[in-house]
Amino acid sequence: MAKKFQNYIDGRWIDSKSGRTFENRNPANWDEVIGTFPLSTKEDVNEAVKAAKKAFDSWRLVPAPKRGDVMRKVGDILTARKEEIARQMTREMGKVVLETRGDVQEGIDTAYYASSEGRRLFGHTVPSELPNKFNMAIRVPIGVAAIITPWNFPMAIPTWKIFPALLCGNTVVFKAASDTPATATTLVEILLEAGVPPGVINIVHGGGTEVGIAMVEHPDVDLVSFTGSTSVGKKISEIASKSLKRVSLELGGKNAQIVMDDANLDLALEGVLWGAFGTTGQRCTATSRLIVHEKVYDKFVPMVAGSAKKLRLGDGLKDNTDVGPCINEKQRETVDEYVKIGVREGAKLLTGGKAASGDGLSKGWFYELTILGDVTRTMRVAREEIFGPVLSVIKVKTLEEAIDVCNDTMYGLSSSVYTQNINNAYQAIRDIKAGITYINSPTIGAEAHMPFGGVKETGNGHREGGWTVYDFFTEWKTVYVDYSGKLQRAQIDNVEK
């Protein structure tokens, strides 16, 4: 019998008021049920927000270094349980266990970074224009944070948001993706074990329409942090703007790896295989386009296609598996439709192109690793996010053309350039319109202590990770202390004649 999971609201594990549930299944073996979860409603969200609002009054007064101590304990627990969590995550969302270990490690790194930020929530002191007066600006927590996360990094991305939110003194209502609720529940359990008080962290399971939108609309939610599709992000932004909520959106990408004629092709090959097919291409930073200089196109593209054919699909818990399944049937159908669109538009199918079959694959949502050659910049497969194991290859004549093609999408998240010419590298850094640019490494591989996010329709300007995320989860408060003992009117009569 499948394990039954619950919401966590105001210090209690409870069922949804709806009484309804949904199943969470293994995408590599759809017969395997991970557990049943509450299919929550607006009523459950109301209770969670009420609890978070009540808990904010006390949590915000806990000294930030003490909140940091809690984050350090979270990191210790994650470290001790790393393998267990990684294997659970692979069962839940399919990517190979080598990658899920990295997902947990990202959470560990984020926890330890957050713990140190408890002693580094720096403000500013500046001179006053008046005598006997002291000026400073300090950071203060904002209130109740709604955290809405995707399924592809079910530990890392929630930690990017929840740890800074809590460290800064906010309280949290958390909605994880319905495809990965078990890993999210584990994270909440660890936060509680580490000492997060009741009401400070709450988790409400369910669909985006009922739970996610209810969180965004709620008048007592003060800020929203969302990672997901651009279309949903725009809807969240529209709803939140009605009450002027602070919103952080980390959205889609159509990331390109540029390979110049002077590139180390063996290194570029390793990069594109990892960038395009790691996590089955189900990353917002995945290498979806390969832009190749015409002088090496005919040599390099067959290298990529040949190597892709050798990568092994299968259960991510098995040692010989290189690539796991798509997350669910609907996503596999989306991937297949895009491949068909690409071929209809004139792309050449170099390898893959259909649902995978064979030993151990029939019960999962596997799709062959697919490479489309002779793609032009106007094709849909060169412009729209596919979120699957599909790589579109485009030929260019110059670095300038490569950068122009790279920039020619609505997105601007990650980018990569392989070249041994330092001038080319710095020109690309300057001219590529993306939040992240890698030189001689793939489009994936963000580090926890660096800003993460993009430009254009990839987001709304905020950043996850590093020191920058703490700006989102705090409000600046300006403080003036006048110890002159008399009324001093700044900017009015303080200039001597």
- The predicted-structure confidence for 118-128, as pLDDT tens digits, reads as follows 999 999 999 99
The predicted model gives 389-409 an average pLDDT of: 98
- What percent of the chain stands above pLDDT 90? 98
Q: How far apart are the first and last CA of the chain?
A: 85
Grouping H, G, I as helix, E, B as strand and the rest as coil, residue 431 is helix
Name the fold adopted by 3-251+459-478: Aldehyde Dehydrogenase; Chain A, domain 1 (3.40.605)
Any idea what DSSP says for residue 279? Answer: G
pLDDT at residue 496 greater than cutoff 80:
no
Q: Please tell me if the domain spanning 3-251+459-478 has the same topology as the one spanning 255-439.
A: no
Model confidence band, residue 487 (pLDDT cutoffs 50, 70, 90): very high
Say yes or no to pLDDT of 485 above 90.
yes
Task: Report the amino acid identity of residue 341.
Answer: I
Higher pLDDT, 494 or 433: 433
Q: From CA 379, how far away is CA 344, in angstroms rounded?
A: 10
| HSE-CB for 441 with a 13 A CA cutoff | 8
Tell me how crowded residue 461 is: count the other CB atoms within 10 A of its CB. Answer: 12
In this predicted structure, the answer to whether residue 233 has a pLDDT above a threshold of 90 is yes
- Ramachandran quadrant class, 277 (left: phi over 0; alpha: psi -120 to 50; beta: rest): alpha
What does the alpha-carbon distance between residue 223 and residue 230 come to, in Å, rounded to a whole number? 18
pLDDT of amino acid 446: 92
- Of 15, 377, 388, the C-alpha closest to 204 is 15
Q: Which residues pair with 140 in a beta bridge?
A: 475
- For the chain, the domains span 3-251+459-478, 255-439
Residue 408 pLDDT greater than 60, yes or no: yes
Residues 102, 150 contacting (CB under 8 angstroms)? no
What band does 301 get if pLDDT is binned at 50, 70 and 90?
A: very high
Catalytic amino acids? 250, 284
pLDDT value at 302 more than 80:
yes
Q: Are 25 and 62 in contact (CB under 8 A)?
A: no
Check residue 67 and give its pLDDT.
Answer: 98
Beta bridge partners of 25: 33
Distances in whole angstroms, Cα of residue 433 to Cα of each of 194, 275, 289, 355, 398: 41, 19, 15, 34, 17
What pLDDT, on the 0 to 100 scale, is given for residue 91? Answer: 98
Reported pTM: 0.97
- Asked if residue 495 has pLDDT above 60, the reply is no
- The whole-angstrom separation of Cα 390 and Cα 352 is 9
Asked if residue 176 lies in contact with residue 154, where contact means CB atoms within 8 angstroms, the answer is: yes
CA atoms within a 13 Å half-sphere pointing along the CA-CB vector of 37: 26
In degrees, to the nearest 5, what angle opens at C-alpha 229 toward C-alphas 225 and 233? Answer: 45
Domain 255-439 falls under CATH 1.20.1440.230 = no
Instruction: Report which of 135, 124, 125, 123 is spatially closest to residue 491, judged by C-alpha positions.
Output: 135
Query: Residue 22, class by beta-carbon neighbours within 10 Å (0-12 exposed, 13-18 middle, 19+ buried)?
Result: middle
pLDDT in tens, 57-114: 999 999 999 999 999 999 999 999 999 999 999 999 999 999 999 999 999 999 999 9
Q: What's residue 493's pLDDT?
A: 59
Q: At 353, is the secondary structure helix, strand, or coil? A: coil
Cβ-contact 465, 452 below 8 angstroms:
yes
CB atoms within 10 A of CB 464: 24
Type of residue numbered 338: Y
Q: Label residue 1 by pLDDT band (50, 70, 90).
A: confident
Would you say residue 164 has pLDDT above 80?
yes
Cα separation, 269 vs 272, in Å, equals 5
